[in-house]
């Protein structure tokens, strides 16, 4: 061109512009009691007065963050998968949550996030960062695979609790044409003693990755005497809260994420083009 000016042409990922409606449950988890927790989730969902696309429950929602995962772990298609499938089918929504699974193929127990669709298809993510300040690091195997899943035109990055502290693992990478994902879904058992870190890191992950973030935490006191305030929250790409649960209380909340606004913001503020 002679002027020395380089013209960069960008091709943006085109979402289908359909809003994503999510119901999330902040649960006081009954200690090591799957059947009781099924009942509590069902009771919470009975208050749902609108159709949704996704239902999200906290990390280890059937047992709490127990020291007995070897005893509590299930087969990949055990009773909790059957419960999740039933809820997904009943509400015609993707059901998302974690529970301990013994995987014969990998010969290990995993804190496994399941994304169960109404047709019974189950996509999985194994928690990558096991919490070394607890028995989790000795009980459970680490997941090694980071994946992005698509649901109703939305690209979703799953993450579990301690993963939140590792921005490199969660980085929304730009491949020259588009960012990897639109929504980060994070299930947790994050105690009240570190609630400031929870609130700060959720906002940071939303802002730095130009994405929506949903953090779903438990509340109440577990069998080890650890207290959880909840602070479950849905954030937009600027880190602003769109919906949240009250502290220390079981709660069902709904949020709608707007694809069009996300695309517009990314077009106007393409910070990722200057990423390291």
Which residues are tagged catalytic? 59, 127, 161
Any idea what DSSP says for residue 163? G
CB atoms within 10 A of CB 250: 18
Sign of torsion over alpha carbons 236, 239, 242, 246:
positive
Q: Using CA atoms, how far apart are residues 272 and 4, in angstroms rounded to an integer? A: 24
Written as six digits, the tokens of 24 are 């999330």
- Distances from the Cα of 119 to the Cα of 10, 42, 88, 140, angstroms: 37, 19, 8, 29
Q: Using CA atoms, how far apart are residues 133 and 167, in angstroms rounded to an integer? A: 19
- Strands 183-188 vs 212-217: parallel, antiparallel or unpaired: parallel
- Strands 154-160 vs 183-188: parallel, antiparallel or unpaired: parallel
Contact present, 101 and 63 (Cβ < 8 Å): no
């Amino acid at each position: 061109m002679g002027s020395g000016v380089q013209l960069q042409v960008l091709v943006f990922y085109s979402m289908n512009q359909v809003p994503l409606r999510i119901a999330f449950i902040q649960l006081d988890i009954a200690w090591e009691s799957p059947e009781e927790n099924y009942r509590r989730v069902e009771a919470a969902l009975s208050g749902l007065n609108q159709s949704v696309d996704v239902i999200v429950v906290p990390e280890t929602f059937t047992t709490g963050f127990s020291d007995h995962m070897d005893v509590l772990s299930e087969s990949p298609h055990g009773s909790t998968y059957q419960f999740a499938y039933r809820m997904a089918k009943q509400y015609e929504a993707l059901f998302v949550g974690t529970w301990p699974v013994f995987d014969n193929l990998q010969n290990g127990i995993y804190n496994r996030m399941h994304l169960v669709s109404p047709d019974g298809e189950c996509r999985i993510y194994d928690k990558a960062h096991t919490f070394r300040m607890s028995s989790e690091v000795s009980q459970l195997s680490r997941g090694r695979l980071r994946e992005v899943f698509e649901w109703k035109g939305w690209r979703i990055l799953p993450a579990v609790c301690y993963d939140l502290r590792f921005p490199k693992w969660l980085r929304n990478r730009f491949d020259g044409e588009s960012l990897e994902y639109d929504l980060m879904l994070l299930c947790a058992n994050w105690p009240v003693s570190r609630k400031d870190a929870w609130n700060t890191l959720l906002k940071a992950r939303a802002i730095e990755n130009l994405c929506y973030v949903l953090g779903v935490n438990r509340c109440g006191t577990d069998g080890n005497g650890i207290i959880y305030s909840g602070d479950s929250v849905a954030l937009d790409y600027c880190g602003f809260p769109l919906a949240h649960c009250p502290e220390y209380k079981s709660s069902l909340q709904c949020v709608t994420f707007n694809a069009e606004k996300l695309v517009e913001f990314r077009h106007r503020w393409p910070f990722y083009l200057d990423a390291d």
